[in-house]
Amino acid sequence: MKADRVKTWLRGLLGLALLAAVVLLARPARVLAELARADPAWLLAGLLAALAANAVSALRWRALTRWLGGELGRADACRWYFQAIGLNALLPGAVLGGDVYRALALQRSGSSTRLAGASVVLDRVSGLWMLCAIGGWGAAACSSALGPWLHLPARPLALLLLAGSTLWLALPWALPPLLRRAPAARWARWLNPLREAALRPDYGAQLRLQALASAAVQALSAAALAAAALALGIVQPLAVWAFASAPIFLMAALPVSVGGWGTREAAAAAALAPFGVIPAAAVGAGLIYGGYALAQGALGALAFGLPRGGAGQ
């Protein structure tokens, strides 16, 4: 237990060290200057978009939980989801801490451990699935800028990204026939929730609902990121934000930092560099987006109550 705790905090320190390194490379004075001139109206617009994205996420999780046979009210779903956001922003392990909290909260409310875990895992997979698809389409639309940056021909790159993203989006619809033929593997037990869900007779209807909800979540999240950038005067086409949101959000979700701090800002600087965005502005946009998570955690605690009893522990 002590060794695990040490590893957890080491990961957190690694993320903070990366954040410090990124800010140093972008020059702290320039980053502070960018943040000092942020437009309050765009900051508020970004926060509202982020709040809307996570409200839809909470309702998506509720719909998935009820489909799996659990009971989860709207108020509880929102309370636990926003509390999880606060934990994600403050604890080592990025999204893992908040996901564990949601599963424990649902379990303490009367759901089985298996159902609680499956609902959180499938909810997370649903979001990542749509994020990667939209990011791939955005990258295809931005191939004229990304191609030269990667030293690749733009047109073949666009066609490859477009085809790959479309196949990736279609993959869940191909899962039922594939999983019926494939025997359950002991080494892939963590895939069992996905396997069991895909073999249900009402899987198609639920998948359509998840796809629509996840698309709305990603569109609102990308809008929040774009608003954070616009607050600093960064103006880019919508396709750029569709692409950039994927690496930025994926890096922020890696369990190697505290709340994604450091990995998110490094990804923002790298993803926006091909479009001429200076590192200081890109890092500033990443910091503002991270601030949205802190604000949502605080608002969630105030609006929906602090963590209760054993679930909070």
Residue 150's Cα: distance from chain center in Å? 25
pLDDT in tens, 294-312: 888 777 666 555 544 444 4
Neighbours of 112 (CB within 10 A): 13
H helix intervals, the chain: 2-26, 28-36, 40-67, 74-90, 95-108, 113-141, 143-150, 154-181, 192-198, 203-230, 238-253, 263-272, 279-304, 309-312
CA-to-CA distance for 74 and 58, rounded, in angstroms? 8
pLDDT in tens, 188-213: 565 676 777 778 888 889 999 999 99
Question: How crowded is the C-beta side of 9, counted as CA atoms within 13 Å?
Answer: 5
Torsion sign (Cα): 89, 48, 52, 125: negative
Q: Which residue ranges of the chain lie beneath pLDDT 50?
A: 187, 307-313
Taking the whole predicted model, whether its pTM rises above 0.85 is answered as yes
Torsion sign (Cα): 198, 172, 94, 61: negative
Amino acid (one-letter) located at 174: A
Based on the number of CB atoms within 10 Å of its own CB, is 262 exposed (0-12), middle (13-18) or buried (19 or more)? buried
* pLDDT for 267: 94
pLDDT in tens, 206-257: 999 999 999 999 999 999 999 999 999 999 999 999 999 999 999 888 777 7
Q: Which of 263, 238, 269 is nearest to 250 (CA)?
A: 263
Q: What angle do CA 312, 82, 297 make, to 5 degrees?
A: 90
* pLDDT for 307: 47
Locate tokens 């699935």: which residue? Answer: 129
What is the per-residue burial (b if ≥16 Cβ within 10 Å, else e) of 216-243? Answer: bbbbbbbbbbbbbbbbbebebeebbbbb
* pLDDT for 313: 40
CA-to-CA distance for 288 and 252, rounded, in angstroms? 13
